Amino acid sequence: MAGFTQLFVPGPTNVPETVRQAMNMPMEDMRAPTYPTFTRGLFEDINKIFRNESGRTFIFPSSGTGAWESAITNTLNPGDRVLMARFGQFSHLWVDMAERLGLDVDVVDVEWGTGVPVEIFADRLAKDKEHRIKAVFVTQNETATGVTSDVAGVRAALDAAKHPALLYVDGVSSVGSIDFRQTEWGVDLAVSGSQKGFMLPPGLGFLSVSQKALDVAKDTTRNNRSNRCYFSFEDMIKANDTGFFPYTPAVQLLRGLRASIDLLLEEGLDNVFQRHARLAEGVRRAVAAWDLKLCAKEPKWYSDTVSAVVVPEGIDSANIVRTAFENYQTSLGGGLSKVAGKVFRIGHLGWVNEVMMCGALSAAEMTLLDCGVKVKPGSGVGAALEYYRESRQPAIAKA
């Protein structure tokens, strides 16, 4: 096979060359006296990506799932009542973890293809006069269905009910790609991972914590019953405050993280979000031109980081994913759990641009034809490139 294998799964995403090179280094001593000079800047700057203006961000040598566990075990006790919604494989897995860690989970099941039901949450919170609900969980971007939920809306519901519950957000496939404002939206614990918008290999779990949640974790009268060790805030704070880690950190990934944060800040977060919105819209235009539908039921749910495309009756989406890889060296995402066989996913997050997305759409279009889906050759790619040209800012025109 010649040329690059094209990676369009919604994580792990493409790693920019500067990030890859930053990790290509001789091994270093993570206890060297100079190490804190490096880590202090990193701790400060990762907060900027979460727009966390008063708390701190923990960097764990784990995937995002580890950061979920850290968020729960440091701030909640077994038996605590929490409010969650389930509408895809990742929101399901978060519910599953909460239940396995002994929380009393009030699960609101809604249709896959929709997201967090803000009105139902508002109603539950308003009725909870005794404040039995200790935490509200939001999966900001459900990667399995390509659905984005309204985090600010959930904060507004908490405020309207004058409810003191902590707000937890899964931002694994959203932070660093679509708008997220931890302090402004009053998010207490925000989880992410290295392998999506941060454009790094998998291996780092991020947990950005508000001052309120840090205080709750310290309150031993309330929060001393969940077992925690590897993911303990206390151990991490003690070590991080001196510029080190409580155990061996993933040193190369941290150098890569420095480079990826630099890229995000140089481009400017708002520009990064704008780029993702444009790329996503081009993909959506292609899907419409193929006369196919997204799993996301309405525009208000559309995700700017991943599109899950519903395949016609009688077509197996797993076959589409396999064929794209075998025929065109292109990795697309498959359907997970309830939507297995029914959707394929195109990741449009991280280090991507218009031409790369046209490549992904070309592969998807050829594959759809190979698999018997009657799309007009060129229709989807044509719609996308027309949109990319007309929406280019500033337009560069040469006669």
DSSP helix/strand/coil, 138: strand
Shortest CA distance to 244 belongs to which of 24, 39, 28, 20?
Answer: 39
| Residue 256 phi, psi (nearest 5) | -65, -40
| Residue 345 phi, psi (nearest 5) | -120, 140
Q: Does 208 bind ligand PLP (CB under 6 A)?
A: no
Q: Does 193 bind ligand PLP (CB under 6 A)?
A: yes
Shortest CA distance to 57 belongs to which of 179, 188, 184?
Answer: 188
Q: Does 90 bind ligand PLP (CB under 6 A)?
A: yes
Q: Does 305 bind ligand PLP (CB under 6 A)?
A: no
Cα distances (Å, whole numbers) of residue 70 to 8, 45, 175 = 29, 21, 18
Task: Report the b/e string of 194-230 with b at 16+ CB within 10 A.
Answer: bbbbbbbbebbbbbbbbebbbebbeeeeebeebebee
Binding string, 154-173, against ligand PLP, x = CB under 6 A?
----------------x-xx
Shortest CA distance to 49 belongs to which of 199, 305, 275, 269?
Answer: 269
Shortest CA distance to 199 belongs to which of 247, 145, 259, 244?
Answer: 259
Cα distances (Å, whole numbers) of residue 172 to 66, 198, 349 = 12, 10, 12
Q: Does 60 bind ligand PLP (CB under 6 A)?
A: no
* Binding segment toward ligand PLP, per CB under 6 A, in 15-23, 107-115, 137-145, 218-226: 137-145
Q: Does 11 bind ligand PLP (CB under 6 A)?
A: yes
Q: How far is the CB of 209 from ligand PLP (least distance, A)?
A: 17
* Binding segment toward ligand PLP, per CB under 6 A, in 61-69, 99-107, 245-253, 346-354: 61-69
Q: Does 253 bind ligand PLP (CB under 6 A)?
A: no
* Binding segment toward ligand PLP, per CB under 6 A, in 63-71, 95-103, 270-278, 381-389: 63-71
Total residues contacting ligand PLP by CB under 6 A comes to 12
The reply to whether 222 sits in an annotated binding site is no
- Which positions make up the binding site? 345
Sites of contact with ligand PLP (CB under 6 A): 11, 63-65, 90, 139, 141, 143, 170, 172-173, 193
- Which positions make up the binding site for substrate? 345
